Structure 1
Amino acid sequence: MGQPTFIDLFAGIGGMRLGFTQAGGCCVFSSEWNKFAQITYEANFGEVPAGDITQIASEEIPDHDILLAGFPCQPFSIAGVSKHNALGIHHGFQHPTQGNLFFEIARILNDKRPRAFLLENVKNLQSHDRGRTFQRIQQILNDLGYYIYYQVINAVHFVPQHRERIFIVGFREPLEFTFPQLPIQQHSVKDILEPSVDAKYTLSNHLWQYLQNYAEKHRARGNGFGYGLVDLEGVTRTLSARYYKDGSEILIPQENKNPRRLTPRECARLMGFPDSFKIVASDTRAYQQFGNSVVVPLVKVIADEILKSLKQGKLLKQTRQLTLF
């Protein structure tokens, strides 16, 4: 097997690509519809991803060994489901725009027949619609002839952030595969902080008072909602795409000052991006982009195991059951 090739679908700013490139893969095609993410992607990889995948015919996509896709997760996330319920919008596969994008992955798998794939989504994908959504995804992948493995992994083993995501690995052949052993968590928030930070990241008196009042109101009702003031020796909550709104889920304490938001570079570090990664978007866009991305070193170790399975080619002894836990 020569250098393995891969395609990067729903590429965002290229977190999956970085992980697979670090593992020795070569990207031959990328697709991302968001124009601001495209700008960041081009700045770092020297190419503008193709646009809307629904408008790209399979014949336009090069042959490849591995398909990568962190397909849109909001229709399946806990926050996404709550938001769509409140707005009267269907969620999951019934979501009018995002939910059906999984079927674009299925289309390309069917037409291009890569040897393997890696899909990433929110942990809640497993329980969405009482498990029926995930069962349907498994059935579709099985019907396409792929042998699949999946696991929910917390990125806290690689970065100082609680971030649970489900990873789905599939092989065209019944290959043996094991998710990587996770290192003991040895990271703390202080490790990713910049030494000098602009005053603009410090919360205003008005916003800080609002967050405290909001937390107190919900505490009185017995709810757990509220800001997240970080223990610098510990880890953070999950960085989300909404971080740009008020930064409340991850606030850095400051001596004799109001807490502050993370800077975009600190968000990049929290997601495992190297400092060489260029941040060319506004703060607002950068927060959205990193919040929507993947933890790079976690993808890298999964990529290592996928490539090892493809290279070794060890077949499963028992292949009746296509879906493996």
Structure 2
Amino acid sequence: MGEITPLHSARPKALEFFAGIGLARMGLEAGGFRVAWANDYEADKKLMYEAQFSNQGDHAFALGDIGLVDVDSLPRDASLAWASSPCTDLSLAGGRAGFAGPQSGTFWHFIRLLEELGDDRPGVAVLENVTGLASSHGGDDLAAAIRAFNALGYSVDVLAIDARRFVPQSRPRLFLVAAVNPPADVPDPNSELRPDWLQWVFGDESLRTHRAPLPALPLPLTEGLGDLVEDMRLDDERWWDTDRTRAFADSLSPFQRERVVSMRRSRGVKYRTAYRRTRNGVAVWEVRPDDISGCLRTARGGSSKQALVRLGNGRMQVRWMTPREYARLMGAGEYDFSSARTNQALFGFGDAVAVPAVSWLTENYLLPLVNGTLADEDQLRLEFHVEAL
């Protein structure tokens, strides 16, 4: 009897740039890839990554600046390269320096390594980032990214996916899917995946783009935060004391205070999330009105941490959200925290991509694209009709 081939060896290999704590890997591997190599420059994230994947086969993790990565250290038989490059310079909070900034500009090292791989570069590459990339410098940064992929022989699709389609967290992100052998273009100007504010990309004749036929996304969630809240006694020391809770309430605007008081008086328990913001030079708290989390952020500094508010039955309690709650809101509820401090974990999850968004993209787009089995538009219509029946 011949030797049995390990199951993971039959999976196409992926390279994971800007790997963070490995949430992209979780989504990619759930969809059928095997991450063979990863890179990130933060030692704390590497510790969390290795704790999570220590029992899931061999992989190489290159700790350090991507600018120092030698192309000879990369596997030459990868089918996919994934990059969740830093978004700092593409956000309003980061000053909008764009791809010329020191953080987001590391994207160019990703492009350099793809170029240096030559004929061995993966047939599919993905860039994931904030939706601010689409408007950074009037769209010039997004166009520059597409042209960089074009110069390496890739056509590019651009998709907008909010994690709220899968988990109760508002987290819109942009995904550039670059393909050496793209599928036939299927114009769909009003698609939820390619909303109106992205259509200029496909109308720019100087850019080589495509639009793959894809199934509809799940409907956005309108509730579910309360289901992900960690069980905790009401006298747990993590709930804020009376003075701190009163200061929280006093900082609310009259409109917000009226809504919070109404929920506090109502029957049953409701959970809401809150961020601290600066309005007219004054630090205030703002509470979301719905059963959905605000976008998790990198928790360095109190203003970026998200608080949880418990309301109902005549009571209001407030505390910081826990690492486990962050993990659940990112679709990684069973993540291994054995090597992580609280703020280290909050930062890692706030700086990551939601697992189910990656797995949806992988199952419906990336793996079929690599395998040459991407459905055409007629097939998708037929599948939709059968499901409707």
Say which SS state the counterpart of residue 181 (structure 2) adopts.
coil
Task: Render the CA deviation track for 1:154-175: whole Å, top value 9, x for unaligned.
Answer: 1111000111110111111133
**How far does residue 49 in structure 1 lie from its aligned partner after superposition?**
2.2
Say which SS state the counterpart of residue 125 (structure 2) adopts.
strand
Highest RCO, 1 vs 2 (Cα 8 Å, sep ≥ 6): 1
Asked if residue 123 in structure 1 is aligned to residue 160 in structure 2, the reply is no
Output the CA distance in 2 between the equivalents of 1:111 and 1:178. 31
What does residue range 253-272 of structure 1 map to in structure 2 within 5 Å? Answer: 253-254=310-311, 256-272=315-331
Please, which moves more after superposition, 249-258 or 57-66?
A: 249-258
The one-letter amino acid of 1:67's match is A
**How far does residue 225 in structure 1 lie from its aligned partner after superposition?**
8.2
* 1:237 equivalent among 263, 274, 294: 294
What does residue range 143-182 of structure 1 map to in structure 2 within 5 Å? Answer: 143-176=151-184, 177-182=212-217
Asked if residue 201 in structure 1 is aligned to residue 201 in structure 2, the reply is no
Output the CA distance in 2 between the equivalents of 1:179 and 1:189. 28
What does residue range 1-325 of structure 1 map to in structure 2 within 5 Å? Answer: 2-46=10-54, 49-52=61-64, 53-63=66-76, 64-81=78-95, 91-95=97-101, 97-112=102-117, 113-176=121-184, 177-186=212-221, 187-196=223-232, 199-216=236-253, 226-230=284-288, 234-242=291-299, 245=302, 249-254=306-311, 256-278=315-337, 280-304=339-363, 305-312=365-372
- Structure 1 stretches of 4+ with a deviation exceeding 6 A read 217-225
Task: Render the CA deviation track for 1:254-295: whole Å, top value 9, x for unaligned.
Answer: 453431221110110000003254453111111111100111
Which structure is higher in strand share?
Answer: 2
Q: Which runs of 5+ in 2 are unaligned?
A: 1-8, 185-211, 257-277, 377-389
Change (3 A) 1:203 1:115: same
Say which SS state the counterpart of residue 67 (structure 1) adopts.
strand
Contact conserved, 1:230 with 1:253, CA < 8 A, in 2? no
Output the CA distance in 1 between the equivalents of 2:239 and 2:303. 11
**How far does residue 3 in structure 1 lie from its aligned partner after superposition?**
1.8
Q: Which runs of 5+ in 1 are unaligned?
A: 83-90, 317-325
The one-letter amino acid of 2:293's match is T
Change (3 A) 1:315 1:297: closer
Normalising by structure 2, we get a TM-score of 0.71
Say which SS state the counterpart of residue 81 (structure 1) adopts.
coil
Q: For residue 323 of structure 1, what is the aligned residue in structure 2? A: none
**How far does residue 132 in structure 1 lie from its aligned partner after superposition?**
1.2
Contact conserved, 2:308 with 2:319, CA < 8 A, in 1? yes
Please, which moves more after superposition, 280-289 or 188-197?
A: 188-197
**How far does residue 99 in structure 1 lie from its aligned partner after superposition?**
2.8
Output the CA distance in 1 between the equivalents of 2:338 and 2:304. 18
Output the CA distance in 1 between the equivalents of 2:61 and 2:95. 29
**How far does residue 222 in structure 1 lie from its aligned partner after superposition?**
8.5
Output the CA distance in 2 between the equivalents of 1:118 and 1:173. 14
Change (3 A) 1:297 1:223: farther
Output the CA distance in 2 between the equivalents of 1:253 and 1:309. 45
Output the CA distance in 2 between the equivalents of 1:175 and 1:279. 43
Q: For residue 6 of structure 2, what is the aligned residue in structure 1? A: none
Aligned residues: 306
Change (3 A) 1:106 1:189: same
The one-letter amino acid of 1:163's match is R
Q: For residue 386 of structure 2, what is the aligned residue in structure 1? A: none
Instruction: Say what the alpha-carbon RMSD is for the aligned residues.
Output: 3.0
Please, which moves more after superposition, 304-313 or 109-118?
A: 304-313
Say which SS state the counterpart of residue 287 (structure 2) adopts.
coil
Say which SS state the counterpart of residue 129 (structure 2) adopts.
strand
